[in-house]
Structures are given as structure tokens and as C-alpha cells.
Amino acid sequence: MPHARLAGLLLPALLQSVRCLALEPPVRPAPPALRRPRPLAMSASGGTGGGDSSSDPERWASLSGSDLSRELARRSTLSSRVRTSAPVRFSLAAAADGRQFLVSFARFWTGLGAAVPVNRLMLALIVAAYGLQGVCGRAMLYAGARMNQAILVGQWHRLITPIWLHGSLMHLASNSYSLWHLGPQAEALFGAERFLLLYVLSGVGGNLLGLWMGAARSMSVGASGAVFGLMGGLAGHALRTYGVAGASQTLSSVSRILLLNLFIGSRRGSGIDNLGHVGGFLAGGALGVLLARGSPGDRSASRGPVWRDEPRDEPRVDSTSAAFGAVAVRAATVAVWAALALSTRDFAAMTANLRARGLR
């Protein structure tokens, strides 16, 4: 058969090909010769030679190992060894990481401030904290209230956490109403970061005055000191921007509100901490002067507080004359956020400890 004869001829050739592929390695083409870079020859003065001397193979071949060693020793100075040491490289890397964190945090804060006003964020925090008080009971109140004896033994978080706590629903409603009306105006004048500093540091200032002049067993909560700090900040901003004559109406309005609240708080059994109000107002006034910013063409600087609608003279403080520059404000903002985070950690741990002991 022709087909059988053809298969008998092709089968041995096929078996031979399979055996060669299985037993012998494949033949690969040799790689092309790598191009070796031609180094520059060193001149007699120690530098690299220029012109035709650098491409002279005989001159390069004449360099000995001792010449190369002397050149490396000449370039290995003390400063280069210090810069390449492990501690210095670790410190520089840590500084670069810290700078990157600050830049990222600044971008996050800027985006958050553009999306959500800080005054509304503060309002949401005090309302949410009051809701948690209903769940945690007295444990949360005792863990975060300003107790002078506890602060003196190291519980420093009690200078911050009372800003978010309230003793009753009427107390919360009063401070929320004041923050709702004063917050947007203060944030428009100071900006998001400066408003945060004004609000938190005013509350801390009120608690510090209560710690200094209050009774050892006194206990206080509430955002009243921070709210009074907003009023003091508006007065300080007007005083710095317009002078005593231009800010007379603002100072008069703020003084009447302050005196009215002090009178109400002076009644027996009122339960109002006047020291917190006064301390917050004084701290806010000082911060308002320090943090004041604005320019004659800035609408936010020329409108004035919410209770003042009549026209004013042009402000006399430009955007570069604030006592705190942008870098100082940014650093202070980061420090305030860090203090808020640490105080919240200690406050939460103490609340959990009190609840574990049966306090409800």
C-alpha cells in the first residue's frame, strides 16, 4: 500500500526529531556584546580631564589602583560620611514623613472646611455628645466634667471635654441656639482654622479660670465658655479692625449680653458657672485681637457682627497684619486637633472604667 510505505518512511524521522528535542538543549543565539561605558580619565589635578585626553585608552589604562584609592579618599569627607550615616538618614526620612503627614492633613482639613463649616461641625459634636450621655448615663458626665481636684492630680482632659457635655436639654438648647447664630458670623470673619482655635481655646480658657478661682469640689460642664469666647472674639476683631470708636456699638452690645448672663448666673441655685463665662469671654477677646484678619476689599471683614447692620468705616487691618501668620495658625490647628484626640482617648477610657464599676 502506498500509504503504509509513506508512513514507514516518515515515522523514523519523526521519532528522531522528538528524541533530539527531548535530550538536547535548544540552541540559543549568542547575546550581542554589551557596550562597555568608557570612563573619564582623571586629570593630574584630581578632576576629570576634558577634550581628547578623556578618551585616550592609553591614559586610562595607565591609572593604577592607588590613584583611584586616593581619589576616593579625597572625596570621602566627614560631612559626606555624616550625611550617609544611618541615624542621619533615619532622621531625614522621619522628617520627610512628618512633613508629608502635615501636608496631607492640611489638604484634608481644607477640603473638610470647604464641605462642612466648622461651626456646624462643632454644633453636631455637642448634640451627638448629649445623645451619648443618654446612653452612657452619669459615667460619661463624671468622666468628662471639669472637676478641679481631678485636674490637679493629672486628668488634664477635663479642661477640654466639658466643652462637649451638657447638664440638661435646656442647657444644650441654649448653647446650641447661640452657636447657631454666632458661629457663621465668627467663621466668616476668622476663617475655618482660626474659628476652631477661637472656639476650643476659649472653652479651655473658661475652664482654666474656673480651675484657678473655683472651689476645689466644683463640677462644671457646657459649651458656654466657648460660646462666650465667640462673643469676645467678635468684639476683639472689631476692636482691632476698626479701633475703639468704630467698635463702640459692638462692644456695647457684647457687654450688655455678658452682664445679663452674669446677673442670671449670680442668682442662688442657678447652677451657672460664671467663671467659665468670664474666662471664655476674656480668652476669646484676646484671641480675637491676635487672630484678626481682613482687608478693605474683603466683605467678611467689613460686615461686622450679626447685631450691627449700619455701615462702618473701612477696616484698617490687612490680610498680612494678623499677629498669627498662616504657618503659626496651621501649627496651632494641628496641636489643637492632637489635644482633642488625646483628651477623647482618656475620656473614653475613663467612661468605660466607670461603667465597668457599675456607674450608670
Catalytic residue numbers read 224, 277
**DSSP code per residue over 289-348:** HHH----TT-HHHHS--TT--S--PPPS--TT--SS-HHHHHHHHHHHHHHHHHHHHHHH
Helix (H, G, I), strand (E, B) or coil at 219: strand
Q: What is the DSSP letter of 24?
A: S
Query: In sequence order, what are the residues at sequence separation of 6 or more whose Cβ sits closer than 8 angstroms to the Cβ of residue 170?
Result: none
Cα(254)–Cα(346) distance, rounded to whole angstroms? 36
Please provide residue 89's backbone torsions phi and psi, each rounded to the nearest 5 degrees: -65, -40
Q: What is the DSSP letter of 36?
A: P
- Please report where in the chains the cell 555624616 appears, as a residue: 82
Cα(249)–Cα(214) distance, rounded to whole angstroms? 32
Helix (H) or strand (E) holding 147: strand 146-147
The three cell numbers locating residue 341: 484626640
- Please report where in the chains the cell 469640689 appears, as a residue: 217
End-to-end Cα distance, the chain: 104
Query: In sequence order, what are the residues at sequence separation of 6 or more whose Cβ sits closer than 8 angstroms to the Cβ of residue 60?
Result: 38, 39, 41
In the chain, % helix, strand, coil (3-state, to 5) comes to 70, 0, 25
Angstrom distances, CA of residue 292 to CA of 23, 58, 65, 186, 300: 87, 74, 68, 11, 11
Cα(239)–Cα(242) distance, rounded to whole angstroms? 6
Cβ atoms of 179 and 230 within 8 Å: the answer is: yes
Encoded amino acid at 6, one letter: L
